[in-house]
Amino acid sequence: MDKLINLLKTHGPMTGKELHQKTAMDVFNLWKSCNQNADIVTKNFGTRYLRLDRNVDGFARLSPSIIREFYNYTVISLKSQAEMALSKAEELHRHIIAVSQNKFALALETMEKNIASQPEPEEIKEKVCFIIAGDVAYEMAHLEPRPEFSTGQFVNGSDLDIVIIYKDLPERLISELDASIYRWKYYLLANPSYKEEIDYCLKDISKVEKQLAFEDFESMVASKVLDEGKFLCGSFQLFTEIKKMVAERGIPEKLASLTEKATMQREKARMELLASNDAINDKELRQLFYTTDEKEEFF
């Protein structure tokens, strides 16, 4: 414990990641030590939001996970360094907002170029809506290198989660649009200047209507994505129609209930972990503490 105090005295406020690199402690024990020492304070920044996870009872958990929040979105300091810690947390928060905005801008530029390259771009603008979701929508995007799901290649942090919804679009244009987006996906992934991943889903408005029934895991994920999603480009009229459908089906209220449940579950898990003397043996607690494969599937 004295080692942590001395490190903070010497180096000032640090993120969980920075402190972990300097101590080489087991990350669970480091997290516990920082949260149980009366002389150490932690300052979280960023946004906690609902993530649906098949491996959690009731599917609802909060993101970032407990350890990822500690590692990347928490500043640890001594009480006497509170002002410096707040300043550092605010600076880091501004950084993740800037990263999110840059990724949003890249997604917008890519999809607008994609639209312009279509055989009938005006029809795409009229009948197709491009929505961005995930980390970027919550302004929680990061640049931590991570392996892309299908190839294993490392990409620059958060992917670009894009949902493309069409209405009354001819099949020939749907096929061309899908092929074109896939080409852009490969280009951004393979180009060393980008190393960005587009995770996208292309679907008809009729499928959206069915998914808003919120009856199973897949439809719950689809509904959450549409609720959190922000307009990127294409038809704003269709975007407005989709958001109206989401509201009429009571999706925001259903998600708010799940978020409340996940928040209580998170705090309960946190208290149990702090009180334990052993490694995390409970499967449910491990799922809430450790960073898992947080790839969000689109349906």
Tens-level pLDDT at each residue, the chain (299 residues):
688 999 999 999 999 999 999 998 988 899 999 999 999 999 999 999 999 988 888 899 999 999 999 999 999 999 999 999 999 999 999 999 999 999 999 999 999 999 999 999 999 999 999 999 999 999 999 998 887 766 767 888 999 999 999 999 999 999 999 999 999 999 999 999 999 999 999 999 999 999 999 999 999 999 999 999 999 999 999 999 999 999 999 999 999 999 999 999 999 989 988 988 776 766 667 777 776 555 555 55
Distance CA 203, CA 205 (A): 7
- DSSP class of residue 73 equals S
Which segments of 102-244 are extended strands (E)? 128-133, 145-147, 154-156, 160-166, 198-204, 230-234
SS3 53: coil
The yes or no reply on domain 99-253 and CATH 3.40.640.10 is no
**Alpha-carbon distances, residue 14 vs 36, 67, 111, 134, 140 (angstroms):** 17, 15, 38, 27, 19
Question: Helix, strand, coil proportions of the chain in percent (round to 5)?
Answer: 55, 15, 25
Nearest to 186 by CA among 116, 125, 110: 110
Burial class (CB in 10 A: 0-12, 13-18, 19+), 201: middle
**What is the separation of C-alpha 26 from the centre of its chain, rounded to a whole number of angstroms?**
25
Query: In the prediction, which pLDDT does 298 show?
Result: 59
Query: In the prediction, which pLDDT does 276 show?
Result: 82
What pTM value is reported for the model?
Answer: 0.92
- Chain position carrying tokens 């490969």: 186
Whether the Cβ atoms of residue 209 and residue 248 lie closer than 8 Å to each other: no
The pair of structure tokens assigned to 140 is 């929680």
Query: In the prediction, which pLDDT does 282 show?
Result: 67
Domain-wise residue ranges, the chain: 2-92+267-289, 99-253
